[in-house]
Amino acid sequence: MCPATTDLKILVTGSQGYIGAPLVRFLKDRGYKNITGLDAGYYVDGLLYDVPGATDVSYIQKDIRSLTVGDLEAFDAVIHLAELSNDPLGMHNEANTYAINHEGSVQLAERSKEAGVQRFIYTSSCSAYGIQNGESIKTETSPLIPQTAYAKCKVLVERDVSALADDSFVPTFLRNATAYGPSPRMRFDIVLNNLAGLAWTTGVIRMTSDGTPWRPLVHVEDICRAIACTLEAPADAVRGQVFNVGDSDENYQIREIASIVADVFPGCTLSIGDGGEDDNRSYRVSFSKIHETLPAFRCKHTVEDGAVQLRDVFETIDLSRERFEFRAFTRLKQLQHLIDTHQIDDAYFRQTVPEAGR
Ligand SMILES: NC(=O)c1ccc[n+]([C@@H]2O[C@H](COP(=O)([O-])OP(=O)(O)OC[C@H]3O[C@@H](n4cnc5c(N)ncnc54)[C@H](O)[C@@H]3O)[C@@H](O)[C@H]2O)c1
C-alpha cells in the first residue's frame, strides 16, 4: 500500500447501509484516518447488533442528489454506495430508481470531478449481466443484458461515468456479486442472508421454484477488501476499469445455496419445488481479472463459512422471528414504511430526521 494512501480524505456514500457500515470499520482497521460518511438514513432504525466502530463514524445526513461541488471539495476519494440497492427496489418505483441510481450517481461523479476528487469507486453489480444467453461464463467484456431498472441504471452509470475518466479523475467500477454475511445494518432480503434467517427462525426452507438459476456470491467483507485494494492500486491499473468482484469458485445455483444453508443449521428441513423463478436472472461469472490486476485482492470467505458465521451471530444475539422480519432489514418494506409515515416524499427525499438505530 502506498504510505500516503491512509491519509486520503475519503467520502463513503451509503455509509449507514449493509455494505457501508462494515466498510467504514474495515477501512479504519486498515489505518485510514479521514473517513466521512454520508447517507439519507433510510434504514438506520434497523441495527441488528452493535460492534464498536461499526456505526460511530461521523456521517452527514444528506441525499446524494443535494450534494454540491463545495460539499465535495474536501475529499480525495469518493466511494459511492448510496443507491436504491436491489432489483425489487428498482421495480417498486422505476422513476425514482433512475433519478437516484442513474442521474444522482452521474451528477455525483461530475461534481466530484469538478471538486478535484481524484478517485471515484462505484459499486456496480453482476446483475448487469442479467441472463445467461448462451455464454457459459461472463467476463467484464461480455454483453450486458440488464433485466431490471436497477441493473439498467448500473449499466448507464458505468457508461456515463467512465466517459469522465482522465489524468486527474480515476473512476473504477466494481461489479459485485450478490453479497452475504453479517452487518450491523443487516439485509435479510438477499439470498443467503434470507435463507439463513429462515433456517434459524423457522427451521424450514421451502422453495417453490426449482432453484436452478446461477448466481455468484461474495462475502460483504470481501467487497470491502476489493474497495480498499482498488483505492490502493496505481491509478493506471484502475482508471476507467470494470472489475467483477467475487471468486470464480463461488458461482452457485440457488438450490445449492439452500442446501448448504440447510446443512449448516441443525434440524433445518429443505424442500425444493419444480416451478420457475419469478426472477429470470441467471449468470455465472469469471473473477479472474480482479485477481490478476489487483494481486492484493483475495476472497477470504466461502458461502459455507458465511452461513456458519451467520448461525453464530444469530445464536449470539438470539435472533427472534419478529426481529428477522423487522421492516428495516428488508429494504422494500422499510421504504414503504417511510412513504406511509411521510418520512420521505414522493421523490424519496427525507422529510424528517431519521430515528436512532435500534
Ligand atoms: N448487497 C449486495 O448484494 C450488492 C451487490 C452488488 C452491488 N451492490 C451495490 O452496493 C451498494 C450498497 O449496497 P447495500 O447492500 O449496502 O445497500 P443498502 O440499501 O443497505 O445501503 C444503501 C445506503 O444508501 C443510502 N441511500 C440510498 N439512496 C440514497 C440517496 N439518494 N442519498 C443518500 N443516501 C442514500 C441508504 O439510506 C442506505 O443506507 C449499492 O449501490 C448496491 O447496488 C450491492
The alpha carbon of 83 and the centre of ligand 1 are apart by a number of angstroms equal to: 5
Looking at the CA of residue 154, tell me the nearest atom of ligand 1. Answer: 43
Amino acid in position 250: E
pLDDT in tens, 72-116: 999 999 999 999 997 666 677 899 999 999 999 999 999 999 999
pLDDT of residue 124: 98
Which grid cell sits at 11?
467520502
Looking at the CA of residue 41, tell me the nearest atom of ligand 1. Answer: 37
pLDDT of residue 4: 61
pLDDT of residue 284: 94
pLDDT of residue 357: 47
Look at the block and give the residue holding cell 441493473.
151
Q: Spell 207-218 as b/e; 16+ CB within 10 A means b.
A: bebebebbbbbb
> For residue 356, is pLDDT > 70?
no
pLDDT of residue 358: 40
Residues 182-196 have a mean pLDDT of 97
pLDDT in tens, 131-188: 876 668 999 999 999 999 999 999 999 999 999 999 999 999 999 999 999 999 999 9
> For residue 317, is pLDDT > 70?
yes
Percent of the chain whose predicted confidence (pLDDT) is above 70 = 92
Q: Of 25, 36, 85, which is best to mutate to test ligand 1, by the most ligand atoms within 8 angstroms of its C-beta?
A: 85
Residue 274 confidence class, pLDDT cut points 50, 70, 90: confident
Question: Structure pTM?
Answer: 0.96
The alpha carbon of 140 and the centre of ligand 1 are apart by a number of angstroms equal to: 22
pLDDT in tens, 207-239: 988 999 999 999 999 999 999 999 999 999 999
CATH T-level fold of 3-186+218-250+285-301+330-340: Rossmann fold (3.40.50)
Determine which residue's CA is closest to atom 26 belonging to ligand 1. 82
Q: Distance (Å, rounded) from C-alpha 97 to C-alpha 2?
A: 37
Percent of the chain whose predicted confidence (pLDDT) is above 90 = 84
Residue 57 confidence class, pLDDT cut points 50, 70, 90: low
pLDDT in tens, 245-267: 999 999 999 999 999 999 999 99
Q: DSSP assignment, residue 148?
A: S
User: What residues does ligand 1 touch, defined as CB less than 6 Å away?
Assistant: 14, 16-20, 39-43, 63-65, 81-85, 100, 104, 123, 125, 176, 178-179, 185, 187, 190, 331
Q: Contact, 244 vs 289, CB < 8 A?
A: yes
Determine which residue's CA is closest to atom 1 belonging to ligand 1. 179
Task: Give me the DSSP letters along 209-276.
Answer: E----EEEEEEHHHHHHHHHHHHHS-HHHHTT-EEEES-GGGEEEHHHHHHHHHHHSTT-EEEEEEEP
Looking at the CA of residue 66, tell me the nearest atom of ligand 1. Answer: 32
Determine which residue's CA is closest to atom 19 belonging to ligand 1. 85
Question: What mean pLDDT, rounded, does the chain reach?
Answer: 93
User: Where exactly are the structural domains of the chain?
Assistant: 3-186+218-250+285-301+330-340
The alpha carbon of 15 and the centre of ligand 1 are apart by a number of angstroms equal to: 9
pLDDT of residue 135: 65
pLDDT in tens, 200-209: 999 999 998 8
End-to-end Cα distance, the chain: 37
